[in-house]
Amino acid sequence: MFDLIPYGRRDRSLTSELNRWLGGSFLQDFQGVRGFKVDVQDKGDHFLLEADLPGVKKEDIKINLEAPYLTIRAEQNTEKTEEKKNYVYKERSFGSISRSFDVSGIKTGDIKGKFKDGVLSLTLPKQEEQQQADSIEIEIED
């Protein structure tokens, strides 16, 4: 039967095609193969960035700052083994994901991070804005 999703909007990535052929088992262990979900909240004097990285260990997360971009990269390597009477089942999955964010307007030297229960939280302090006068009259010289 035909899919009800218009042709142009179907996911035609290699991962999705392999999942279709292999019954949905390809790269299912790595949550967020295409990226990871991020929430950014404006807290007044800083932004709070929360990235969902379930199943990732703290030591497998790398945060790199190359002005003006902050890149979060995570790797996950899992191995499952199941042995029963007549067969042995072993499956491995390896993957890495990353996202970059423009941090211009952020005090990059004061960024702080925490990782707890699969959520990476970064506090991104805002740079103080230059105060501009409401109205200034500029004289023109002769």
In a domain, 70, yes or no: yes
Q: If pLDDT is split at 50, 70 and 90, which confidence band does 121 have?
A: very high
In a domain, 23, yes or no: no
In a domain, 77, yes or no: yes
In a domain, 134, yes or no: no
Q: Tell whether the model's pLDDT for residue 98 goes beyond 80.
A: yes
pLDDT value of residue 47? 96
Q: Tell whether the model's pLDDT for residue 61 goes beyond 80.
A: yes
* 17: nearest Cα among 31, 33, 1, 4: 33
pLDDT value of residue 91? 82
The structural domain count of the chain equals 1
Name the 3-class secondary structure at 51. strand
In a domain, 25, yes or no: no
* 67: nearest Cα among 39, 98, 107: 107
Average pLDDT along the chain: 79
pLDDT tens readout for residues 27-57? 444 444 457 899 999 999 999 999 999 888 9
State the Cα angle at 63 between 59 and 69, rounded to 5°: 170
List the CATH number of the domain containing 84. 2.60.40.790
In a domain, 40, yes or no: yes
In a domain, 91, yes or no: yes
Q: If pLDDT is split at 50, 70 and 90, which confidence band does 138 have?
A: confident
Domain containing 79: what range? 35-125
What is the spatial distance between Cα 92 and Cα 56, in angstroms, rounded to a whole number?
A: 15
Neighbouring CB atoms inside 10 A of 100's CB total: 13
In a domain, 59, yes or no: yes
| Edge-to-edge strands, sheet with 61-66 | 61-66, 69-83, 88-102
Q: If pLDDT is split at 50, 70 and 90, which confidence band does 131 have?
A: low
pLDDT value of residue 8? 47
* 121: nearest Cα among 111, 131, 106, 130: 111
What is the spatial distance between Cα 122 and Cα 43, in angstroms, rounded to a whole number?
A: 12
